[in-house]
Amino acid sequence: MAAGRFPAGVLSFKQFMHRQKVLSLYRKILKVIDEIPNEGDKQYLKNWARQEFKQNKNATDEDAVRMMFTHGNLQLKELENMLRLAK
């Protein structure tokens, strides 16, 4: 195997780190959603989060992934603020 080549399906270190950050963001979003008292709203938001992450799971362009990650963090902050205001 030539240097710098990986078998098909193996992530580079940078891709692996991006994946870990995205998974961490997803978990944080789900934790915030779990704090919502209304079951209907909670289920709606869980479905929304699941759909957004599934829709973009095959994105490979670094700039696009970075932009989506930033957008996801903004959405997380918005959810946290809305939950804080509702309490």
What's the pLDDT score for residue 1? 41
Q: Please indicate, yes or no, if residue 21 is contained in any of the structural domains.
A: yes
Considering its fold, how many domains does the chain have in total?
1
Q: What percent of the chain has pLDDT over 70?
A: 91
How far lies 9's CA from each of 3, 15, 21, 44, 74, in Å?
A: 16, 11, 19, 33, 30
pLDDT over 80 (residue 5): no
Tokens of 20: 């870990």
Q: Please indicate, yes or no, if residue 5 is contained in any of the structural domains.
A: no
Cα distance between residue 43 and residue 45, in whole Å: 5
- This prediction has a pTM of 0.83
Q: Please indicate, yes or no, if residue 7 is contained in any of the structural domains.
A: no
Q: 34: domain range?
A: 13-86
**Cβ pair 59, 65 in contact under 8 A:** yes
Question: ∠44-49-54 over CA atoms, to 5°?
Answer: 125
Backbone phi, psi, residue 4, to 5°: 85, 0
Q: Please indicate, yes or no, if residue 75 is contained in any of the structural domains.
A: yes
Return all residues near 14 (Cβ < 8 A) that are at least 6 apart: 62
